[in-house]
C-alpha cells in the first residue's frame, strides 16, 4: 500500500487511489501542462488509518441518523469529526506525510506554502468525485501543520453537508474514501477561470475571466473580472471587456492568511492580462479539451510571469444543439446590452435592473 505518491506518478486511471482531483492534476502534469508540484496522501492510507486506529465501527455507527433532521445531522457531524481528530494516526502514515512534505520543500528550494485539498472517491463507483463536499486548507507551511491539515481533510469527509449528500445520492458512508492532495501554493498576482469552449453554447471560443490577486475572488464572484474571448480557429482575441476591479484577495505576509484588500487605484481599470498571456492561456485550454475530449472548466494563476494551471474539469452547462441555435439567431437579432452572464441558459420575463441591495 502506497501511503503517499507524487502527482506525476498518477493519471486519470488512478481515481480510486487519489480521487478525481488528484488524478486530473497528475494527468495534466504528464501531458506537459504547467501544474504546481505536489503529492497525494492516498485513499488507501486514509482507509488504513480508520482500520488500524480502531475507529471504523464507532465512526460509521455515529452516522446512522435522520439526515432530514438538522439537529441530528449537526450532532452526527460533531461526533464523527471528534472521533477522527482524536484518533492516533499510525506512526508510519504520519511520518510518510511529513517526510514527503520535506522532500517537496527540497524540490522547490524553500519551505513552501501548500494547499491541502480533499479528493474523495467511492470504492464501488470510482468516477464519483464528490466535488465541493469536503474542505480545502490554504497557505499551510511546516511538516506538522501539513499533517494536521491532512487530518482535518479526513474529518471533513464527515461534515453535515457531505453526510447529507451521500445519503441523498445513495452512497454508503463505509465505501467512500478520501485522498488528501498537498500542492505548492501559487501566490498569484493574476488569476481566474477559463472555459475551453463557450460555456452556454459550446462554440469553439475560449472564454477567460481574470482579476488581480488570488483566484478565490473570481471563483466566489466577489469581484467583476475582465473578460476575454479567443477564437480557436483564427487564434485571435475577438472580444475584450475590461472591468473595474474594486477588491482583490492576497496572502498577508504577516499572518500567511488570505485577506481582501482594495485594488490599487492605478490597477482598478487596467487590463489584467497581456495579449500574449491571453493567447498562452487559450493554448492550454485547447490542449486540455483535445486531451480529455470534452470542453473544460479551468482554474489558473500567474506568479512571477509564469502561468500555472490549478484545476481542470468538464463543463456541464452546455446544452445540446445550443451552438446551432445561437448561430442561427445571431443574424436575426439585435444586441441590446452586453455584460457578464450570471448563469447559462435562456429565460423569458420582465427585465429588472438591480442597481443596489434595495432593489432586490
Do residues 149 and 140 touch, judged by C-beta distance below 8 A? yes
pLDDT in tens, 130-187: 555 567 888 899 999 999 999 999 999 999 988 998 888 888 888 888 999 999 999 9
Burial of 210 by CB count in 10 Å (0-12 exposed, 13-18 middle, 19+ buried)? buried
pLDDT of residue 170: 84
pLDDT of residue 268: 96
Nearest CA to 166 among 84, 82, 77, 78?
77
> Do β-strands 176-184 and 114-122 pair in parallel, antiparallel, or remain unpaired?
antiparallel
How far is it, in rounded angstroms, from Cα 359 to Cα 109?
53
196 or 177, which is more confident: 196
Q: Which CA distances in Å does 347 have to 30, 99, 225, 271, 350?
A: 42, 54, 24, 32, 10
pLDDT of residue 49: 97
Classify 4-184 by CATH class: alpha beta
pLDDT of residue 326: 46
Number of H helices and number of E strands within the chain? 11, 13
pLDDT of residue 131: 58
- Check: CATH 3.40.50.720 for 190-318? no
Letter string b/e over residues 254-271, b meaning 16 or more CB atoms within 10 A of that residue's CB: eeeeeeeeebeeeeeeee
pLDDT in tens, 71-108: 999 999 999 999 999 999 999 999 999 999 999 999 99
How far is it, in rounded angstroms, from Cα 137 to Cα 155?
12
Mean pLDDT for all residues in the chain: 89
How far is it, in rounded angstroms, from Cα 254 to Cα 274?
30
pLDDT in tens, 17-39: 998 889 999 999 999 999 999 99
pLDDT of residue 191: 96
Which stretch of DSSP H or E encloses residue 179?
A: strand 176-184
**Grid coordinates in use for 204?**
469553439
What percent helix, strand, coil does the chain show, rounded to 5?
40, 25, 40
pLDDT in tens, 244-296: 999 999 988 888 888 999 999 999 999 999 999 999 999 999 999 999 999 99
pLDDT in tens, 311-355: 898 887 776 655 544 444 445 567 777 665 666 567 788 888 887
192 pLDDT above the threshold of 50: yes
pLDDT of residue 219: 82
Nearest CA to 171 among 204, 215, 129?
129
Nearest CA to 295 among 284, 286, 304?
286
Per domain, the residue ranges of the chain are 4-184, 190-318
Would the pTM count as exceeding 0.85?
no
Burial of 106 by CB count in 10 Å (0-12 exposed, 13-18 middle, 19+ buried)? exposed
Q: Which residue has the cell 498518477?
A: 10
Burial of 57 by CB count in 10 Å (0-12 exposed, 13-18 middle, 19+ buried)? exposed
pLDDT of residue 325: 42
How far is it, in rounded angstroms, from Cα 282 to Cα 197?
10
Helix axes 43-52, 91-108, angle to 10 degrees: 150
Q: What is the DSSP letter of 139?
A: E
Amino acid at each position: 500500500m502506497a501511503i503517499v505518491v507524487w502527482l506525476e506518478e498518477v493519471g486519470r486511471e488512478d481515481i480510486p487511489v487519489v480521487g478525481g482531483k488528484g488524478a486530473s492534476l497528475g494527468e495534466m502534469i504528464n501531458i506537459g501542462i504547467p501544474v504546481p508540484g505536489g503529492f497525494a496522501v492516498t485513499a488507501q492510507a486514509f482507509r488504513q488509518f480508520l482500520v488500524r486506529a480502531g475507529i471504523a465501527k464507532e465512526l460509521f455507527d455515529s452516522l446512522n441518523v435522520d439526515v432530514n433532521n438538522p439537529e441530528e445531522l449537526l450532532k452526527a457531524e460533531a461526533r464523527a469529526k471528534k472521533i477522527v481528530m482524536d484518533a492516533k494516526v499510525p506512526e508510519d502514515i504520519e511520518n510518510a506525510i511529513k517526510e514527503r512534505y520535506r522532500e517537496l520543500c527540497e524540490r522547490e528550494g524553500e519551505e513552501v506554502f501548500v494547499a491541502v485539498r480533499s479528493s474523495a472517491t467511492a470504492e464501488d463507483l470510482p468516477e464519483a468525485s464528490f466535488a465541493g463536499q469536503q474542505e480545502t486548507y490554504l497557505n499551510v507551511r511546516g511538516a506538522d501543520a501539513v499533517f494536521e491539515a491532512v487530518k482535518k481533510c479526513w474529518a471533513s469527509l464527515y461534515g453535515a453537508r457531505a453526510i447529507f449528500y451521500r445519503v441523498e445520492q445513495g452512497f454508503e458512508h463505509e465505501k467512500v474514501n478520501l485522498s488528501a492532495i498537498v500542492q505548492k501554493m501559487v501566490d498569484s498576482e493574476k488569476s481566474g477561470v477559463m472555459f475551453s469552449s463557450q460555456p452556454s453554447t459550446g462554440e469553439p471560443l475560449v472564454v477567460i475571466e481574470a482579476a488581480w490577486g488570488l483566484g478565490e475572488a473570481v471563483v466566489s464572484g466577489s469581484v467583476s473580472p475582465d473578460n476575454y474571448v479567443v477564437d480557436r480557429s483564427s487564434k485571435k482575441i475577438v472580444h475584450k471587456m475590461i472591468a473595474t476591479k474594486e477588491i482583490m484577495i492576497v496572502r498577508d505576509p504577516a499572518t500567511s492568511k488570505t485577506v481582501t484588500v482594495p485594488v490599487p487605484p492605478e490597477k482598478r481599470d487596467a487590463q489584467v492580462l497581456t495579449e500574449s498571456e491571453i493567447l498562452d492561456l487559450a493554448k492550454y485550454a485547447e490542449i486540455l479539451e483535445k486531451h480529455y475530449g470534452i470542453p473544460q472548466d479551468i482554474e489558473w494563476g500567474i506568479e512571477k510571469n509564469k502561468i500555472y494551471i490549478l484545476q481542470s474539469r468538464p463543463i456541464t452547462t452546455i446544452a445540446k444543439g445550443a451552438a446551432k441555435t445561437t448561430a442561427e439567431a445571431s443574424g436575426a437579432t439585435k444586441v441590446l446590452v452586453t455584460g457578464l452572464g450570471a448563469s447559462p441558459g435562456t429565460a423569458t420575463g420582465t427585465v429588472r435592473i438591480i442597481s443596489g441591495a434595495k432593489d432586490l
